[in-house]
Structure 1
Amino acid sequence: MSQSLLIVTRQAPWSGPGAREALDIALAGGAFDLPLGLLFLDDGVFQLAPGQQPASLTLKDLQANLQALPMFGVEALYVSARSLNERGLSDGALQLPVEVLDDVGLSALFERYDQVITL
């Protein structure tokens, strides 16, 4: 049986390669039917915010990768309520359907997965 994997993405889409790398790992794992979840934490919640204009920073748009997650079987998507609140984002305005977790929910989430990768 495959070990489950939780990928924690903590970087904003414009702050470096970490956001793209986390999505690439999730898409690759999903393609191989690896049981995995993706958690948007800290500045990683900005990846879910609408209206981004990465071209103005000469960066590639991550939205296509985000929208492809369900097609690759990556449906366990989570976001930290605290991270959203601290950054003034509303869970109703996010670009993907995600499960919003409080601190207790986050602790339980980490316990459900065999391996955790943080980028």
Structure 2
Amino acid sequence: MSKSLLLISRQAPWSGPGAREALDIVLAGGAFDLPIGLLFMDDGVFQLAPHQHARAVQQKDLSANLQALGLFGVDEVFACSHSLTERGLAPPASAQPLSSDEISTLIDRYDQVMTL
């Protein structure tokens, strides 16, 4: 039986390779039918913001990777409500917003948790 994995992405899409690496791990896990979830927290919620201009900061656009999550069987996508509010972002349709208490419960549901 596969162990479940929750990946917590905390880096903005333009802050370096961490955001891209987190998405790559989640997509690979989904491709191999690993029970996997993705939680965006802190500056990681910026990955969910619409109309990213990745070329302006010489980064790869991650929006296609985010849109592919469902195709790879990754249906458990969450965002920290507090992080969204702090950064002036509206809750995205692509991720379920969670309170701090709900995040604690979510983390307890998974066998393994990885933060990037």
TM-score, normalised by the number of residues in structure 2 = 0.98
- Report the 3-state secondary structure (helix = DSSP H, G, I; strand = E; otherwise coil) of the residue aligned with 2:89: coil
% identical aligned pairs: 62
Q: How many residues align?
A: 116
Alpha-carbon separation, structure 2, partners of 1:117 and 1:73:
19
- Report the 3-state secondary structure (helix = DSSP H, G, I; strand = E; otherwise coil) of the residue aligned with 1:60: coil
Alpha-carbon separation, structure 2, partners of 1:87 and 1:52:
15
Match of 1:19 in 2: 19
Q: Report how far residue 97 of structure 1 moved.
A: 2.0
Alpha-carbon separation, structure 1, partners of 2:45 and 2:108:
21
Match of 2:62 in 1: 62
Runs ≥4 residues deviating over 2 A: none
Alpha-carbon separation, structure 2, partners of 1:71 and 1:27:
9
Q: Report how far residue 99 of structure 1 moved.
A: 1.1
Match of 1:108 in 2: 105
Q: CA RMSD in A?
A: 0.7
- Ranges in structure 2 where 5+ consecutive residues have no aligned partner: none
Alpha-carbon separation, structure 1, partners of 2:42 and 2:63:
18
TM-score, normalised by the number of residues in structure 1 = 0.95
